[in-house]
């Protein structure tokens, strides 16, 4: 753990608790590093498999990945965004999500499409 991070912890939570956090961090540092590498490799594989924005077809559904959990989205060619259906506090609503190409350099959530769905069967 970097000294400046440790010092900040001491001011926030006190020396005793900061020492416990530092000890735990040092104990698991290699495991955390490997988890970060695995997550980076997983993201890299998804981005490499991503269907480019220029190949999107309006009205078609795509399997993909989004950090907030929606894995199917429809491409709206007019607005150039994906549409997902969400459910919050008893209400369904449609949310617009940008293609990952548009947000890759930011910290905004984007959809990474990697497979066009040929048919969707809804059984309600």
Q: Would you give per-residue pLDDT tens digits along the chain (124 residues)?
A: 678 877 887 887 888 887 877 887 777 777 766 666 676 676 677 777 789 999 999 999 998 877 766 688 899 999 999 998 887 888 888 889 999 888 877 877 888 898 898 866 655 4
Task: Please check whether residue 82 is in contact with residue 98, taking contact to mean a CB–CB distance below 8 angstroms.
Answer: yes
Q: Cβ of 100: how many Cβ atoms within 10 Å?
A: 22
Residue 122 lies in a domain: no
The answer to whether the CB of 70 falls within 8 A of the CB of 84 is yes
Contacts 24+ apart (CB under 8 A), 9-16: none
> Is 80 within the bounds of a domain?
yes
pTM for this prediction: 0.60
Q: What is the pLDDT of residue 5?
A: 76
Question: By residue range, what is the domain housing residue 11?
Answer: 3-48
Predicted local distance difference test score (pLDDT) of residue 92: 87
Q: Are residues 62 and 28 in the same domain?
A: no
Are the CB atoms for 71 and 65 separated by under 8 Å? yes
Residue 124: the pLDDT is 44
* Domain match, 18 and 35 both: yes
Identify the pLDDT of residue 120: 64
Enumerate the H helices of 1-124 as residue ranges: 3-13, 15-49, 100-103
Are 44 and 20 contained in the same domain?
Answer: yes
């Amino acid at each position: 753990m970097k000294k400046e991070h440790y010092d900040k912890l001491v001011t926030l939570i006190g020396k005793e608790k900061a020492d416990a956090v530092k000890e735990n961090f040092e104990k698991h540092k290699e495991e955390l590093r490997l988890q970060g590498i695995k997550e980076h490799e997983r993201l890299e594989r998804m981005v490499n498999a991503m269907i480019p924005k220029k190949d999107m077809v309006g009205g078609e559904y795509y399997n993909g990945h989004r950090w907030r959990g929606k894995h199917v989205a429809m491409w709206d060619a007019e607005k150039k965004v994906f549409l997902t259906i969400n459910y919050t506090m008893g209400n369904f609503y449609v949310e617009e999500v940008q293609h990952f190409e548009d947000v890759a350099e930011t910290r905004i959530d984007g959809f990474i499409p990697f497979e066009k769905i040929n048919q969707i069967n809804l059984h309600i």
